[in-house]
Amino acid sequence: MPLMSLEKPPAQPGQVWAHVGQPFVGREYDLIVLGAGRMGAACALYLRRLAPRRSLLLIEEGGLPNEDGATLLSPGVWSALTVPPERRAEAQWTRAQLAGALAPDPSLNLSFQARPLLELAAAGGAGWEAVLDVLGRDPAPTLPAGLADLQALPWARLDAQAARYRPGALALACAQAAIGAGADLMLNARAHLDGGGVGIERLSVTNTHQIVVHETHRLRAGRVVVALGAAGPGTVEHDLGLHTTHARAYRQFPRLNHPSTEQTPTLRAAGLTLRPQHGGFTLVPAIHHRDPAGYEPGGGRLTGVPTGLRRETLEDLVAAMDALPALATGALELGRSLMDVPGAWFALPGGDPDGLPRHEEVAPGVHLLLGGPHADTLGLAVAYDLAATVAGTQQRPWAGRPG
């Protein structure tokens, strides 16, 4: 190990408060990050690396990963196909981080797999090829039989650089690496912004499974990063009395029990992404638009029968059935109530269903960090960008976009 420079004091692992049985004495922090999803955990890690002299506390309302957050359910599909050209360098840097640069310790396993993404379409255009040509090349991406109707989808484009990983494992790896680099972590603690600091409620669970506040603290903080996913904009609006343009959308991930292998490419067709997982597919419907404030998701009906899929998701799947006949079979798990189909709220930066990850200083010293639908491909770069901004660093490790 080289000698540490003045900027890099020897990393003493930080402290972890996982439950209220571990006593916590409130203190001042230079930096507090709210939310240990992948965006918050990554930002905490990069902050430890870029500003190692500033004390940091990472606060998470649930466990790690939080089962109610979007991180755990995110598809974890990296592909530069849908990223605007001027953000490609950041996407490539994110890919390198995911592939091992972020957490070289092999115990921090993101299940990273370089696997092509095959997009199929009814109509072609520049950059598209005949699907049979693409499937005939060597090495050929293999398509499970009976999944797609290639006569309905005669055009294809292949992202040979694409990859898959587990966003939940990414959050965990980032949080562990951040702690290893000196960050403190508090789990099971709800936080709110409180002029110049953060109010904390440490939560505990009663015998009757009620969540109760065990104790409260008020911490002063130099800067606060709000990385609460879809709840972030609402938190800064409620706590700071300001208005943002951000919105959120509920996304369900139905299961399709059509056989896949580790080698099956990620597929995209008819507006859906099909991510091979656990020998089948996880379906990722497109986000068409934000959901209105106050909306509570509920199950829809298919020819009168209640399902766990909401109506909007059902419509997307019904519309895709001609192109993807497997959707019209018993392989599709419809569920009977909302509880049966995994789903989560996603932030829509700028209210845009295609909004890119971003950060912004919504009040002096308070930074809102949003992942959203493109977090799989660009999230780490934006988390790094915020950490570098807070650290006062002009340089960015990707080319072509100095901060």
351 binds its own copies (CB under 8 A): yes
Per-residue binding letters, 275-294, with its own copies (x by CB under 8 A): -------------xxxxxxx
> Which of 47, 41, 72 lies closest to 185, judged by CA?
41
CB of 354 to its own copies, least distance (A): 13
Alpha carbon distance 223, 240 (integer Å): 14
Rule CB under 8 A: say whether 301 interacts with its own copies. Answer: yes
Cβ atoms of residues 373 and 359 within 8 Å: no
Reference 345, options 102, 56, 66; nearest CA is: 66
Q: Which of 318, 328, 339, 399 binds its own copies (CB under 8 A)?
A: 318
Site for its own copies in 189-218 (CB under 8 A): none
> Is residue 337 at the binding interface for its own copies, with CB under 8 A as the rule?
no
Of 106-114, 132-140, 310-318, 389-397, the window that binds its own copies (rule: CB under 8 A) is 310-318
Q: For its own copies, which stretch binds (CB under 8 A), given 60-68, 236-244, 259-267, 277-285?
A: 236-244
CA atoms within 13 A on the CB side of 78: 31
Q: Is 243 in the site for its own copies (CB under 8 A)?
A: yes
Q: Please, which residue, 91 or 287, has the CB nearer to its own copies?
A: 287
Instruction: Give the number of other CB atoms < 10 A from CB of residue 290.
Output: 20
Q: Identify the helix (H) or strand (E) that includes residue 184.
A: strand 184-186
Q: Are strands 56-59 and 305-306 parallel, antiparallel or unpaired?
A: unpaired
CB closer to its own copies, 192 vs 289: 289
CB of 294 to its own copies, least distance (A): 4
Cα–Cα distance, 354 to 129 (Å, whole number): 25
Pick the binder of its own copies from 304, 330, 392, 402 (CB under 8 A): 304
User: In this chain, which of 107, 208, 303, 395 binds its own copies, going by CB under 8 A?
Assistant: 303
CA distance 97 to 95: 5
Place of tokens 């001609």: 322
| Sequence letter at residue 261 | T
Which positions touch its own copies (CB under 8 A)? 237-238, 241-243, 245, 250, 288-298, 300-304, 310-312, 315, 318, 351
